[in-house]
Amino acid sequence: MIRFNQTTKTFYLRGKDYAYVMCVGKAEYLLHLYYGTAIRESDAEYLAEKVGSLQDAACADGGRDLHANELWSEYPSYGRGDYHEPCVLIERKDGALMSRFRYVSHEIKKGAPDVKGMPHVRKADETLTIVLKDDFSSTQIYLHYIVGETSEVLVRYTEIKNVGKESFYIKKALSFALDLPDQAFDLFRLEGNPTAERAPEITPLGHGVTKLQSLRGASSHQMNPFAALLRKKVTETAGECYGVQLIYSGSWQITAEVGNAGTVRLQGGINETAFCWKLGAGEMFTTPQVTLCYSAVGLGGLSRGFADFLRECVIDPKYAKQIRPVLVNNWEATYFDFNYEKLFPIIDEAAKLGIDTFVLDDGWLGKRNWDDSSLGDWFVNTEKLPQGLIPIIAHCKEKGLKFGLWFEPEMISENSELYRLHPDWAIGKQGQTPCRGRNQLVLDFSRREVVDYVFGVMSKILSENEISYVKWDMNRSMSDFFSSALAAEQQGELTHRYILGVYELAERLKSAFPHIFFEGCAGGGGRFDAGMLYYFPQIWTSDNTDAYDRARIQWGTSYCYPVSAMSCHVSACPNHQTGRSVSLQTRGAVASLGATGYELDLSKLSAGEEEEVKAQIAAYKKIEPLVLSGDLYRLSSPFEQTYFCEMLVSKDKTQAYVVGEQLRADPNGYYKESYLRLTGLAEEKLYFIEELNITASGAILANFGLLLPHLPDYGSFVWHIGEVK
């Protein structure tokens, strides 16, 4: 619900369980008043009167702009007395940078805007657009607030328009700002590395600016484009949290700033470092969308709010809740060293086990036998596969499997036909030795002809072969930020234009090949973000497939992404990344908490393992609806406990599925019984736990719990829980 009170000039936005209030002050500044638990519309008037008027007093016109530092601004600018970080910096022809934005008008429309060329919320009930105009320049700003009445998430983004006759430069254009009236928060983020993605870290919020960011041209392994302000001592089930997530995959920033007035300003969007966008007369610049999620019931509520929103409003509805193919991928089975003779037995075995799709990973193209050549040459490596892909696809078909193929569309190897033809298509300065990553360079996707070329070569392969799945990889960070095609004054546009090119290619391929299921990947989980999820319903969570480490990676990822977005594979032991050996049972259990698959040489399974995998896949297919549409409850943290436990619960609370992994055997546990509380079930219902042959009420399960089994290191269990009618 979005309401505007003409008398108090107050905007009241109400979604599921939250309200957001702002007003137009006397000096026509757009002021923030409230964000939190769903207060009533009439409470907004109180806020306007008491809080709005205080702010007004601070900024009454007539030379008192210096008090702007005390305002809670909806879209703060620079140079007129607000000394916190601004959202926007406009450089005019004479070099002046200050602006003063004031309210002009607003509009409330049904639905969500259709943003062209960028990932965005697909549906909502209403959108509020507030227009602000700069007193000093020809800049007009459109602030958008998108509300779904049944969603915990408020979506925001900003458009900047040049309404004058001369171009100017946008040196900073964040998507949103949120000023909260006190600073008693901790800052939560998901930091990481390749093979250790999205680990939760919580630190007290001190004075000054804390900046979370990526400068890598991708959202990155190192920091996820997400943050949350948490009230002190927040738990999974209690306490206030304010989460923010960017629907963006390029270089980004989120800052939290505690000012001396005791407020905290949270803001974020495109990374401002080296960013500069030339905006011509009449042109509009659109920022990425951000999602704000408020939870009064702890981190669990925050995660479920984000997960529901992504499944309902961002991920392609055609796939969001649809049964996914169970895959086998040949990467860890063969790496680059394969031929028909090595691949066929994997396919044969996959067919016996109930696997749906065989995916041919890296090494099938150009002359690629190692990671030092051929990216860009998207035609078959006929030294390795003399008759091309046809015999593999035919073999899959004969065995009842579908076929998937790996691509790394955004990359180029110096040792490639493409590079020999178009060295300037690589990002970087010609004649200056480039920074190499995994022996490769990044293609300049800010150039239309480059995107067109890649679309052409990929389309050829995809239309000439029966391909039902594509794994879209991206294996290095961007560097040498220079495009041979951009004018000097537009070099600051490169990273954003690049990601727009990536989005365009994804969009074009998806609409040209609507039957193909696209999975995202970036050297593991290096581009696991809501922007990518708009195009790819699932993303390879990490190259680390060790079930011990995966418990942590999947746990961390679940703070703001649904489990259905996480691609999770069972791989061989000893694990290729860690050398650790974990039972097949545990590997299967942990991989069942996501879009499951296999990543090992199936032809080497023993008879016993073969039976076990067959049973795992059959069992997975039964609980898959919970993975796709259920609610996740994190029960025991792998970062804090010796046990990792998560539970998926159907929306109607009639079914649940628990996975537990004993990370470290705990001999002390034999003297100290530990009960696992199953929060998330309906207390009034009666449940049967299949594996334990126990019937208990939801109230007992939630408030007393079930005894955790004592298992050896990396031992695991699964519990299937159903309502007893």
Is residue 546 near ligand GLA by the rule CB under 6 A?
Answer: no
Q: Kindly state the smallest distance separating residue 542's Cβ from ligand GLA, in Å.
A: 8
How many whole angstroms separate alpha carbon 184 and alpha carbon 258?
Answer: 10
Q: Residue 208: exposed, middle, or buried by beta-carbon count in 10 A (0-12, 13-18, 19+)?
A: exposed
Complex with ligand GLA: residue 136 or 335, whichever CB lies closer: 335
Q: Which is nearer to ligand GLA, 294 or 528 (CB)?
A: 528
Pick the piece of the chain touching ligand GLA (CB under 6 A) from 233-241, 283-291, 518-526, 685-693: 518-526
Q: How far is the CB of 621 from ligand GLA (least distance, A)?
A: 24
Count of residues near ligand GLA by CB under 6 A: 11
Residue 410 binds to ligand GLA (criterion: CB under 6 A): no
Under the binding rule (CB under 6 A), the answer on residue 361 touching ligand GLA is yes
**Does 474 contact ligand GLA by CB under 6 A?**
no
User: Minimal distance in Å, beta carbon 269 to ligand GLA?
Assistant: 27
Residue 189, number of CB atoms within 10 A of its CB = 22
Q: Among 157, 503, 540, 555, which residue sits at the site for ligand GLA (rule: CB under 6 A)?
A: 540
- The H or E element spanning position 702 is helix 698-703
Spot the catalytic one: 179, 473, 529, 546: 473
Q: At what angle do helices 607-629 and 340-353 cross, to 10 degrees?
A: 70
**Token digits of residue 698:** 């939801």
CB of 157 to ligand GLA, least distance (A): 30
* 85 sits near ligand GLA (criterion: CB under 6 A): no
Nearer to ligand GLA, 133 or 221 (CB): 221
Q: Is 543 in the site for ligand GLA (CB under 6 A)?
A: yes
For residue 196, give the nearest of 219, 220, 217, 221 by alpha carbon.
221
**Near ligand GLA by CB under 6 A: residue from 287, 413, 475, 662:** 475
End-to-end CA distance of the chain: 38
SS3 547: helix
- Stretch in the footprint of ligand GLA (CB under 6 A) among 152-160, 225-233, 496-504, 520-528: 520-528
For residue 70, which of 85, 84, 50, 49 has the smallest C-alpha distance?
84
Return the residue nearest ligand GLA (CB atom).
362
407 close to 442: Cβ distance less than 8 angstroms? no
Least distance in Å: CB of 473 to ligand GLA? 5
Only one residue has tokens 């206030």, namely: 240
Interaction between residue 197 and ligand GLA (CB under 6 A): no
List 56, 82, 377, 543, catalytic entry = 543
**Judged by CB under 6 A, does residue 362 bind ligand GLA?**
yes
Rule CB under 6 A: say whether 598 interacts with ligand GLA.
no
CB of 156 to ligand GLA, least distance (A): 32
Take residue 630 and report the two structure tokens written for it.
Answer: 């259920």
Residue 493 sits in the site that holds ligand GLA (CB under 6 A): no
Residue closer to ligand GLA (CB basis): 45 or 473: 473
Residue 480, sorted as left (phi over 0), alpha (psi -120 to 50) or beta, turns out to be left
Among 404, 524, 556, 638, binds ligand GLA (CB under 6 A): 524
Three-class DSSP category at 307: helix
**Could you tell me which of 75, 68, 90, 175 has the C-alpha nearest to residue 132?**
75
Is residue 413 close enough to count as binding ligand GLA by CB under 6 A?
no
User: Smallest distance from the beta carbon of 384 to ligand GLA, in angstroms?
Assistant: 15
Which has the closest alpha carbon to 532: 567, 483, 559? 567
331 is an interface residue for ligand GLA by CB under 6 A: yes
Give the C-alpha separation, 569 to 591, whole Å: 6
Q: In this structure, are residues 50 and 187 in contact, taking their beta carbons and an 8 Å threshold?
A: no
Q: Which amino acid is at 557?
A: T
Residue closer to ligand GLA (CB basis): 428 or 523:
523
Quick check: 523 binds ligand GLA (CB under 6 A)? yes
Distance CA 389, CA 392 (A): 5
Rank residues 331 and 378 by Cβ distance to ligand GLA and give the closer one: 331
Lookup: tokens for 712: 């050896």
- Residue 520 interacts with ligand GLA (CB under 6 A): yes or no: no
473: annotated active-site residue: yes
The yes or no reply on residue 404 touching ligand GLA (CB under 6 A) is: no
Site string for ligand GLA, 132-171 (x = CB under 6 A): ----------------------------------------
**Residue 561 within binding range of ligand GLA, rule CB under 6 A:** no
Q: What is each CA distance from 294 to 35, 506, 559, in whole angstroms?
A: 8, 31, 13
Confirm if 52 and 70 have CB atoms less than 8 A apart: no
| In the complex, minimum distance from the CB of residue 524 to ligand GLA, in angstroms, rounded to a whole number | 5
Structure tokens at 414: 């110096």
Establish whether 543 is a catalytic residue: yes
CB 213: neighbour CB atoms within 10 A? 18
Least distance to ligand GLA, CB of residue 19, Å: 42
Query: Would you count residue 257 as binding ligand GLA (CB under 6 A)?
Result: no
- Cβ proximity to ligand GLA, 121 vs 521, nearer residue: 521
**Beta partners for residue 595, in sequence order:** 567
Of residues 307 and 327, the one with the C-beta less far from ligand GLA: 327
Q: Residue 343 Cβ, how far from ligand GLA at the closest point, in Å?
A: 15
Q: Which of 315, 521, 560, 582 binds ligand GLA (CB under 6 A)?
A: 521
- CB 642, CB 691: distance < 8 Å: no
Near ligand GLA by CB under 6 A: residue from 103, 275, 364, 406: 406
For residues 119 and 128, what is the distance between their CA atoms, to the nearest angstrom? 19
Measured CA to CA, the distance from residue 46 to residue 36 in angstroms comes to 15
Helical H segments across 527-660, by residue range? 530-535, 547-557, 584-591, 607-629
Shorter beta-carbon distance to ligand GLA: residue 185 or 331: 331
Compare residues 374 and 662 and give the one whose CB is closer to ligand GLA.
374
Q: How far is the CB of 403 from ligand GLA (least distance, A)?
A: 16
Decide: is 364 part of the binding site for ligand GLA (CB under 6 A): no
**Dist. CA 121–CA 591, nearest whole Å:** 29
> Which H helix or E strand runs over 400?
none
- Rounded to 5 degrees, what are φ and ψ at 501? -65, -40
Footprint of ligand GLA (CB under 6 A): 331, 361-362, 406, 473, 475, 521, 523-524, 540, 543
Residues identified as active-site: 473, 543
